[in-house]
Amino acid sequence: MMNLKKTALAAFLIFVLWTLMDFVIHGLILAETYLRLVPLIRAPAEMKLAVVNLVMAVNVLCFVGIYTAWIGGKSPKRALSYAGVYGLASGVTMGLGTYAAIPIPQVLAWGWFLGYWLECIAAGGILAWLVKE
């Protein structure tokens, strides 16, 4: 049976992890690329941070919810495999899918793809540690 406290802790820690990793990826590594894209994208001062946090919270709940509700035989290998596939599917869609439709630099597309994939794999480590059957 699922331990609700550990699942909630996993969701909280993943939210914190993704926030920190997003700061490094978007706020440091890709920051200059973003600045060159204004007005195609919002300037940093115009970002809707409440919306960003809401989107991340929904994503975290989906990420953790799918694993806890629908993935059987929980193990570290299964958690990391799930996280890798989730991150691959979402990262390709986010990065390369956007690149196909919107004139963003290739470095940004690859940064979104690889960054999100790594974020998910790291989050899989949290699932493996806390969410067990």
Q: Which residues contact 130 (CB under 8 A, 6 or more apart)?
A: 6, 7, 9, 10, 13
Percent of the chain with pLDDT over 90: 95
pLDDT band at 133 (very low <50, low <70, confident <90, very high): confident
Mean pLDDT across the chain, nearest whole number? 96
Span 43-98, pLDDT tens digits: 989 999 999 999 999 999 999 999 999 999 999 999 999 999 999 999 999 999 99
**pTM across the whole model:** 0.95
Query: Does residue 2 surpass a pLDDT of 80?
Result: no
Name the domain count of the chain: 1
pLDDT band at 20 (very low <50, low <70, confident <90, very high): very high
Q: Which domain holds residue 106?
A: 4-130
Rounded Cα distance, 28 and 64, in Å: 27
Enter the tokens of residue 47.
């970002």
Enter the tokens of residue 51.
């919306």
- What's the pLDDT at 1? 54
Q: What is the CB-side half-sphere exposure of residue 118 using CA atoms within 13 A? A: 11
Average pLDDT score over residue span 21-43: 95
Other beta carbons less than 10 A from residue 25's beta carbon: 19
- DSSP annotation of 40: T
- DSSP annotation of 46: G
